[in-house]
Structure 1
């Protein structure tokens, strides 16, 4: 028999995951050298600035997933990449605070409700809100953070600890 009285709620678990990944992502974003925002490791790759901008937007997906039942990205305006590392950090911090607040205020009973991402009539994904938070929001952020850490390494910028020490931080 398990003691369910002390078991954390789904929201508490999700907040713990979110806080950890936001803190880790922030450490990586702090290292972005603004003199290289236009740099690309390959012609098909995002520039450093575009990748950092995308990461600053990832917490917005958490907020949107909590506060709306769907998002239609058709015709969504493109965000201009920031010109400075300070602007990258401001955008990330603002979006992270809003995401955390949205999750903190979320009604846990809606975590099983279907959430849909679409581009006009084309449904990109539709799954339970909690699955969207885990896969599309957090895992997506982790994926792009990994890309950013490779960009930093290629630019000879010390990579911070992510899930353990790096060659730069023992």
Structure 2
């Protein structure tokens, strides 16, 4: 398995988990204004930051610039999930047309809200974006109960899942 193949396999798995996490957010968008600390991002700001990563690297398969706009706002959870799913899926399709040399050697510039921050080979930029999505998804996972909804299952059962399993055994 090549590095690119492993990336695609990991991306598909992690993006489904991320999509499940987005779909588990409260449907009342006002609840996404929750923030755990005044310096922390709100839940809405977290998804406005992390979900555009998929679009940025999807576009970078063609332009070699990951021009990330991280203050995106959504009118609904369904809109956020649809936006993310569209770009995450398109990335997989686009990567089928990227050869190994391009994946390993093509320099991609990373821009954040119009400002160039750094440039690395495509593979490095894409892995950074994937890990950053996972990182912010982890932050978001601490917000669900405070927003009045059940935590999504990310890598294993939640406390609620365990309680239900224990109750069934009794």
TM over 0.5: yes
SS at match of 1:46: coil
Deviations 1:7-57 (A, max 9, x none): x23322111011011001011111111321222222222222222232321
Which of 96, 99, 104 pairs up with 2:96? Answer: 104
Which of 116, 120, 123 pairs up with 1:127? Answer: 120
Q: Provide the residue aligned with 2:43 in structure 1.
A: 48
SS at match of 1:168: helix
1:57 and 1:99, CA in 2 relative to 1: closer, same or farther beyond 3 A? same
| CA–CA separation in structure 2 for the residues paired with 1:119 and 1:84 | 24
Gapped runs of 5+ residues in structure 1? Answer: 1-7
Where does 1:25-104 land on structure 2 (aligned, <5 Å)? 25-35=18-28, 36-71=31-66, 78-79=71-72, 81-104=73-96
Where does 1:107-118 land on structure 2 (aligned, <5 Å)? 107-112=99-104, 113-118=106-111
Kept in 2: contact 1:34–1:83 (CA 8 A): no
Gapped runs of 5+ residues in structure 2? Answer: 163-170
Which of 147, 152, 163 pairs up with 1:155? Answer: 147
Give the structure-1-normalised TM-score: 0.80
1:165 and 1:117, CA in 2 relative to 1: closer, same or farther beyond 3 A? same
| CA–CA separation in structure 2 for the residues paired with 1:90 and 1:147 | 21
Q: Tell which deviates more after alignment, 140-149 or 57-66.
A: 57-66
Q: Number of residues paired by the alignment?
A: 159
1:131 and 1:50, CA in 2 relative to 1: closer, same or farther beyond 3 A? same
1:14 aligns with 2:30: no
1:121 Cα offset (Å) = 10
| CA–CA separation in structure 1 for the residues paired with 2:133 and 2:92 | 15
Give the structure-2-normalised TM-score: 0.80
1:157 Cα offset (Å) = 2.1
Higher helix content, 1 or 2: 2
Kept in 1: contact 2:70–2:112 (CA 8 A): no
1:156 and 1:60, CA in 2 relative to 1: closer, same or farther beyond 3 A? same
| CA–CA separation in structure 2 for the residues paired with 1:121 and 1:155 | 32
